[in-house]
């Protein structure tokens, strides 16, 4: 009898485990999984994955368990049926008629949702109460709908995890949470990037087929409903299993191996999503290794001549109050440029500009998301655990590049072709003194093409010229930070601009179109009076992909950067290791700015510069120095890799890639330096010492 009553759970569970197994097999053979697995490791990954899936399904079946617990015929007997129906009907009227009902206090759509739910419950209860002969058919219909929703969620989640892995080489993380929050951009991105109609049609057919199979195999269980004793047994069993799941799953998430892909494949996306949703900021002092705070600050500040956080930058030469245009390019990995060995010729303009610029050939992004790149270029500080500061509540009144420019009398603006509310950019930049020009500032006739991420880069280039012409007329110098958008999936752009069709939806097309738009921008800029008095800083926000065989694969963080100013900056290549956070302090040095600094980046052209780089994900924090990569992670874990340089035969000599070999005995001085960097930065942020 007990086995009969749990048949729906067994069939659904078996289906979920099969889908999860198939997904793991696909991940094993996916091109992005660029590591090999031995037989023992495959068995280990699949075994841990199976345990994860079983406990996830137990928790996910909570609603199905409640559904069965509330199935009963006795509640329709007199007088209980009439009383329950009356209460439901009155509750429905209460929500519908009373203006200040309890749900109004929660705002938004809560009242509408409650009204629909209670209304449906009242209607269905009334049908089963007043039409007892149709009760079985109604119950079967509701049961089929319940099964359909479960199967749909299982299939849809598997498809979602596949596409997420295809994009990032990871299960769900902070990015997936962002995608849930910014549904308009994300749904639009999906609609424009993938064959949505065939995909959803396939999902619907699979879901309907599986639902019908399970329904036919289990619908007999609704003919004889469990009695009170049987329900207690079912409830007790479920409570024990759910309790075990809540204990086991967090422990399973702590299991980590040297192979990042093994960790991701054996994991389950649902608990990872929940964890990311509830942990958008990690407390460094709770999860990461520490040393004495005074010693940490002393270690970190030793890289600056003054050995203090707030420093007076006093140049020997007069200040150069030139206009500055900072262009951060979406997802432009160094490997896309011919200078770094690419043979596809997809960045002809940027490669030509690099030959005329101060080019930084060994520079590394701090993170793998746009907000990390914007943080590095605006705040000039190492990344910290959890979300970027841009996404946090305490993100205003910081010491920024805009702060320095404003102190010199500059107009300061952030330019973005999309809606700047995305990723909290509007809140951050406006809260730090930037004026904002985004899609809201475009007239319909100014937009030749747009996708879900914003107007085409060429339209933003034209708008930027308009903005800069207006600023130049004011007589004040200007600083404009322009963030491009076109080199982002779905990689769509106007037809006829480049030799790759706009509907090809290829990354190479997105890169080449952005390169085309930048060429257009510079051609227009050269015709303006302010051009020769302007310095242009071009840098990627992050790489196109950060997937690799280790937590922080060095080659996946390398980005191009250059500073160009005709007649002012001599072409040269700077080949020393440096960080994205060093770019703007270096620019201020070139301009001979006299200012008070709280930047944690360095002017790399100074003789006291110490080559190093900071790279991170939302939880793994890396420090690169002396050919070693040291990583600290929750919970107080430390790993260190030796970096062996290898040069590409296709690239110039400065194009260095790395082999990463984990060390069993990390070099302690580098571990202490790593801890000092991230502990000090986290402490100063916590104490608001990096504010203006």
Question: What are the tens digits of pLDDT across the range 262-309?
Answer: 888 999 989 988 887 776 667 899 789 999 999 999 999 999 999 999
User: What is the token pair recorded at 506?
Assistant: 């290829």
pLDDT for 47-75, tens place per residue? 999 999 999 999 999 888 888 888 888 88
Q: Are strands 578-579 and 435-437 parallel, antiparallel or unpaired?
A: unpaired
State the Cα–Cα distance between residues 338 and 651, nearest whole angstrom: 8
Burial of 39 (0-12, 13-18, 19+ CB in 10 A): exposed
C-alpha 53/C-alpha 266 separation (Å) is 9
Say what the pLDDT of residue 358 is.
98
Mean pLDDT calculated for residue range 154-169: 87
The CA-CA-CA angle for residues 243, 269, 207, to 5°, reads 95
Q: With 90 as the cut, is the pLDDT of residue 564 above it?
A: yes
Indicate if the pLDDT at residue 626 is higher than 90: yes
- What average pLDDT does this structure show over 683-691? 96
Can you tell me the distance from the alpha carbon of 304 to that of 291, in angstroms, rounded to the nearest whole number?
20
C-alpha distances in Å from residue 490, one per residue of 30, 156, 167, 454: 21, 20, 12, 12
pLDDT tens-place string over residues 88-124: 999 999 988 887 777 765 555 778 888 898 999 899 8
Instruction: Grade residue 257 by pLDDT with cuts at 50, 70 and 90.
Output: confident
**Residues contacting 160, CB < 8 A, separation 6+:** 269
- What is the DSSP pairing of strand 534-540 with strand 323-329? parallel
Q: Which two tokens stand for residue 666?
A: 């990390």
Q: Which of helix, strand or coil describes residue 574?
A: strand
pLDDT at 186: 63
Which residues fall within 8 angstroms of residue 149, CB to CB, at 6 or more apart?
none
Cα-to-chain-centroid distance, residue 638: 24
Task: Using the predicted structure, report yes or no on whether residue 653 has a pLDDT greater than 60.
Answer: no
Tokens of 468: 């800069």
Rg (CA), the chain: 29
Confidence of residue 690 (pLDDT cuts 50, 70, 90): very high
Q: Is 524 exposed, middle or buried (0-12, 13-18, 19+ CB in 10 A)?
A: middle
Q: What is the pLDDT of residue 649?
A: 52
- Amino acid 181: pLDDT: 58
% pLDDT > 90, the chain:
65
Average pLDDT over residues 386-411: 95
* SS3 (DSSP) at 200: helix
State both tokens at 268: 């389950």
Which long-range contacts does 418-425 make (Cβ < 8 Å, 24+ apart)?
418/185, 418/453, 418/454, 418/455, 418/485, 419/454, 422/182, 422/185, 423/178, 423/182, 423/370, 423/371, 423/390, 423/391, 424/371, 424/390, 424/391, 424/395, 425/371, 425/374, 425/390, 425/483
Kindly tell me if the per-residue pLDDT of 251 is higher than 60: yes
Q: What is the pLDDT of residue 664?
A: 87
C-alpha count within 13 angstroms, C-beta hemisphere, residue 597: 29
Res 73: pLDDT: 83
**Phi, psi torsion values for 660, nearest 5 degrees:** -110, 120
Q: Whole-angstrom Cα distance, residue 78 to residue 88? A: 16
Per-residue pLDDT band for 253 (boundaries 50, 70, 90) equals: confident
Helical (H) or strand (E) element with 65:
helix 62-69
Cα–Cα distance, 272 to 251 (Å, whole number): 12
Closest residue by Cα to residue 170 from 620, 632, 678, 624 = 620
* Topology annotation, domain 293-548+563-569+576-686: Alkaline Phosphatase, subunit A (3.40.720)
Q: Quote the mean pLDDT of the chain.
A: 90
CA 61/CA 411 separation, integer angstroms: 57
**ω before 445 within 30° of 0 (cis)?**
no
Residue 108 is predicted with a pLDDT of: 56
pLDDT of residue 179: 67
SS3 36: coil
- Please report the pLDDT score of residue 565 as a whole number: 98
Share above pLDDT 70 across residues of the chain, in percent, rounded to a whole number: 93
Residue 69 has φ and ψ, to the nearest 5°, of -65, -30
Are 378 and 402 spatial neighbours (Cβ–Cβ below 8 Å)?
Answer: yes
Cα separation of 668 and 675, whole Å? Answer: 10
Neighbouring CB atoms inside 10 A of 146's CB total 17
Residue 283, pLDDT score: 82
Q: According to the model, what pLDDT value does residue 686 have?
A: 94
- Taking each helix axis from N to C terminus, what angle separates 135-168 and 174-181, rounded to the nearest 10 degrees? 120
Q: Cα separation of 331 and 541, whole Å?
A: 6
* CB neighbour class for 312 (10 Å; exposed up to 12, middle 13-18, buried from 19): exposed
| Greater pLDDT, 396 or 32 | 396
634-641 contact pairs (CB < 8 A, 24+): 634/282, 634/287, 634/288, 634/385, 635/254, 635/287, 636/287, 636/288, 636/289, 637/256, 637/289, 638/289, 638/666, 638/671, 638/674, 639/258, 639/551, 639/666, 640/666, 640/667, 640/670, 640/671, 641/550
Average pLDDT over residues 476-493: 95
Tell me the pLDDT band of 32, cut-offs 50, 70 and 90: confident
Look at residue 1 in the predicted model and tell me its pLDDT.
46
The alpha carbon of 180 is separated from its chain's Cα centroid by a whole number of angstroms, namely 11
What are the pLDDT digits (tens) for 165-217? 887 777 887 667 766 655 565 667 677 777 888 888 999 999 999 999 999 99
Distance CA 428, CA 424 (A): 6
Q: What is the mean pLDDT of residues 444-470?
A: 96
């Amino acid at each position: 009898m007990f086995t009969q009553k749990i048949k729906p759970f067994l069939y659904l569970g078996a289906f979920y485990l099969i889908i999860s197994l198939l997904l793991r097999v696909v991940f094993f053979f996916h091109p992005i999984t660029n590591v090999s697995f031995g037989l023992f490791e495959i068995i280990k990954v699949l075994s841990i994955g199976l345990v994860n899936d079983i406990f996830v399904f137990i928790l996910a079946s909570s609603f199905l368990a409640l559904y069965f617990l509330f199935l009963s015929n006795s509640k329709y007997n007199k007088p209980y049926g009439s009383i329950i129906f009356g209460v439901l009907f009155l509750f429905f009227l209460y929500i519908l008629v009373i203006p200040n009902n309890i749900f109004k206090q929660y705002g938004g759509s809560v009242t509408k949702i409650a009204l629909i739910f209670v209304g449906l419950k009242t209607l269905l209860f009334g049908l089963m109460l007043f039409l007892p002969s149709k009760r079985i058919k109604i119950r079967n219909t509701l049961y089929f709908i319940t099964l359909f929703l479960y199967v749909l969620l299982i299939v849809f989640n598997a498809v979602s995890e596949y596409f997420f892995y295809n994009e990032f080489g990871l299960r769900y993380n902070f990015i997936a949470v962002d995608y849930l929050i910014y549904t308009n951009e994300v749904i639009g991105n999906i609609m424009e990037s993938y064959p949505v109609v065939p995909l959803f049609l396939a999902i619907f057919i699979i879901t309907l087929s599986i639902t019908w199979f399970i329904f036919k195999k289990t619908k007999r269980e609704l003919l004889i409903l469990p009695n009170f004793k049987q329900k207690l047994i079912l409830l007790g069993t479920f409570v024990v299993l759910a309790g075990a799941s809540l204990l086991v799953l967090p422990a399973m998430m702590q299991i980590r191996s040297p192979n990042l892909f093994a960790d991701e494949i054996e994991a389950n996306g649902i608990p990872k999503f929940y964890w990311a949703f509830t942990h958008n900021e990690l407390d460094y002092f709770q999860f990461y290794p520490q040393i004495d705070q005074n010693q940490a600050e002393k270690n970190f500040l030793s890289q600056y001549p003054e050995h203090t956080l707030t420093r007076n930058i006093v140049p020997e030469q007069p200040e150069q109050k030139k206009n500055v245009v900072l262009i951060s390019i979406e997802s432009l990995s160094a490997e896309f440029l011919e200078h770094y060995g690419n043979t596809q010729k997809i960045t002809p303009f940027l490669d030509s500009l690099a030959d005329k610029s101060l080019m930084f050939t060994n520079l590394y992004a701090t993170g793998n998301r746009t907000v990390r790149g914007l943080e590095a270029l605006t705040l000039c500080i190492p990344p910290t655990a959890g979300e970027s500061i841009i996404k946090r509540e305490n993100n205003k009144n910081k010491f920024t590049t805009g702060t320095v420019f404003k102190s010199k009398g500059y107009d300061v603006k952030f330019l973005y072709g999309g809606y700047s509310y995305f990723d909290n950019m509007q809140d951050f930049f406006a809260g730090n003194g930037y004026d904002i020009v985004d899609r809201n500032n475009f007239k319909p006739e100014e937009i030749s093409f747009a996708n879900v991420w914003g107007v085409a880069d060429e339209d933003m280039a034209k708008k930027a010229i308009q903005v800069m012409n207006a600023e130049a007329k004011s007589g004040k110098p200007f600083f404009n930070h322009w963030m491009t958008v076109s080199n982002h999936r779905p990689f769509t752009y106007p037809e006829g601009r480049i030799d790759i069709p706009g509907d090809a939806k290829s990354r190479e097309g997105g890169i080449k179109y952005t390169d085309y738009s930048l060429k257009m921008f510079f051609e227009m800029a050269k015709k303006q009076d302010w051009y020769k008095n302007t310095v242009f800083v071009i840098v990627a926000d992050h790489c196109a992909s950060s997937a690799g065989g280790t937590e922080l694969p060095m080659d996946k963080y390398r980005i191009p950067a250059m500073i160009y100013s005709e007649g002012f900056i001599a072409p040269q290549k700077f080949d020393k290791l440096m960080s994205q956070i060093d770019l703007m302090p270096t620019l201020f040095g070139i301009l001979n700015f006299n200012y008070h600094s709280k930047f944690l980046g360095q002017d790399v052209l100074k003789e006291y510069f110490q080559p190093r780089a900071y790279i991170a994900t939302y939880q793994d924090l890396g420090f690169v120095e002396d050919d070693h990569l040291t990583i600290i992670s929750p919970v107080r874990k430390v790993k260190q890799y030796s970096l062996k340089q290898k040069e590409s035969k296709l690239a110039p000599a400065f194009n260095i890639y790395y082999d990463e070999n984990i060390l069993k005995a990390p070099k302690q001085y580098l571990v202490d330096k790593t801890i000092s960097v991230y502990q000090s930065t986290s402490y100063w942020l916590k104490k608001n010492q990096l504010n203006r």
